[in-house]
Amino acid sequence: MEQAILGRTGRSVSRIGLGAWQLGADWGDVSTDDALAVLGAAADAGVTFIDTADVYGDGRSEKVIGSFLPTRPGLTVATKMGRRVALDPALYTVDNFRAWTDRSRTNLGVDTLDLVQLHCPPTPVYSSDAVYDALDTLVAEKRIAAYGVSVETVNEALTAIARPGTATVQIIFNALRLKPLDHVLPAAQAAGVGIIARVPLASGLLSGRYDEHTTFSPDDHRNYNRHGEAFDVGETFSGVPFEVGLAAVRRLAPLVPPGVAMAQFALRWILDHPAVSVVIPGARNPAQAQGNAAAADLPPLGEEVHAAVTEVYDDLIAPLIHDRW
């Protein structure tokens, strides 16, 4: 498994991590046994970085990870805070940060959280000196070892990267979301800020398994948030209309090398960008976690493939979403 230094955390992590949103809720039911099996399969395959949030299953994802951590020393866990309350900049205070991180410390069973990310806060929060001062206070108090941000837009990412204490930026980056290539990845690399690439499979679209007849359960955000009804539509299929995504995936399919699963191809495409520290695919079962980890063993895809991916993006996707995030 390829390793990378995770930005200003200074930690070495596997370049394929595990996204643990699925272990909470919002994607339909996952039993605790199944969640533990996914964590076990990922760790067995060499994954050492897990991304979660206090809001996933309202703490369930963190608690399952917390019960798993003692069995596998050496894992790095990033959590997020700020979305269990209204999205109001006035709530981003040091006292609230203490309360929110105390809850995550309890859920995860650790004294010091490895990395805490502001969870897509309102845009003005990224420019608030008081917010960064409060985060620095949490580091000084050893509640957290480092902090980062999870952003919706490239401008939010660039604002956070300019702050000296920002260790990481988490952003949507995948073969259907190329905008971070323009400025965010170069700026992060120049500043030594880690990039955590989320929604790397465009919520599963880039697995190549879906078609016009695919349905998702009522409690799966790919059903109930398809038009942004519950949260930013960019988090569901990367904000690409489902049918357009299917058309793009059909054009990408011939680029997948023989013997390689399309999901692995999509992850390898992200890993080919050295500014990305870690990619965090979500997995619903141990086989997906294993397959995703194996993407790190594939050779780089080559310039022609990268050019072809860009062409598909320019033709089908960019006109619909490039200006949005």
Residue ranges in contact with ligand NAP by CB under 6 A: 19-22, 27, 51, 80, 119-120, 150, 170, 198-204, 207, 209, 235, 263, 280-284, 288, 291-292
Over its C-alpha atoms, the chain yields an Rg (Å, rounded) of 18
φ, ψ for residue 141, nearest 5 deg: -80, 0
Nearer to ligand NAP among residue 169 and residue 301 (C-beta): 169
Shortest Å distance, C-beta 222 to ligand NAP = 8
Nearer to ligand NAP among residue 142 and residue 250 (C-beta): 250
Shortest Å distance, C-beta 142 to ligand NAP = 24
Q: Are 304 and 220 in contact (CB under 8 A)?
A: no
Shortest Å distance, C-beta 140 to ligand NAP = 25
Nearer to ligand NAP among residue 98 and residue 284 (C-beta): 284
DSSP 11-35: -EEESB-EE-STTTSSBS---HHHH
Shortest Å distance, C-beta 56 to ligand NAP = 7
Nearer to ligand NAP among residue 18 and residue 185 (C-beta): 18
- Helices (H) and strands (E) counted in the chain, each on its own, are 12, 10
Token pair for 291: 């397959």
Nearer to ligand NAP among residue 33 and residue 303 (C-beta): 33
| Helix or strand run (H / E) with residue 205 | none
Query: Cα separation of 8 and 160, whole Å?
Result: 13
